[in-house]
Structure 1
Amino acid sequence: MKRVIVEYAKLTKDILDLLIDKYPDGYDYSDIISFKNAKGETVKAVEVQTEDTIYLVKISSKLEQAMEDYVDDEDSFDDNDDFDVNDLEG
């Protein structure tokens, strides 16, 4: 199974749908995964997955706001059409 790290700026509607489905009331401290990236920096993320991919979505205040805004008005979300999974694999 492929693991992909996704930043707020690279979110798509599909990934946001996965986040909302898994964390309808928001994520909790126990949902957060910490790991070191290739640069040795600690990264905190929440995990969602499809049949073939595990997405580790980096946590930030912008992520929380995007999830709230998306729930309130799904049509206003500007889907990131240039999202390329291959650019984010790590």
Structure 2
Amino acid sequence: MRSLSAIEAKTVALWVADNQLTLLQLDPRPPTLAWHSGTTVMAGETWHWRYRGRETSDAGMRAIAIEVRRDPQDRNALVEMLTYRALP
């Protein structure tokens, strides 16, 4: 039962990350290089996420890194994702 709980937590954390990355893709302003953080309630729990833009070797693109945790004090994120978007 414990591993099922861990699988469920990782699945929900992936949904949180995916939702935040979708919102960032829809925002006309590209993310800055500084960390931005917030919380989302999903599946009855509060999830802590943070993201930042990263420079790439292509001046017309920016990488976006996101991390999701159950507890903001956790050293390791449950989920880390990276995506790219074109700069305006």
TM over 0.5: no
Q: Which has the higher contact order (CA 8 A, sep 6+)?
A: 1
Greater helix share, structure number: 1
TM-score normalised according to structure 1 size: 0.31
Greater strand share, structure number: 2
Q: Is the radius of gyration larger for structure 1 or structure 2?
A: 2
TM-score normalised according to structure 2 size: 0.31
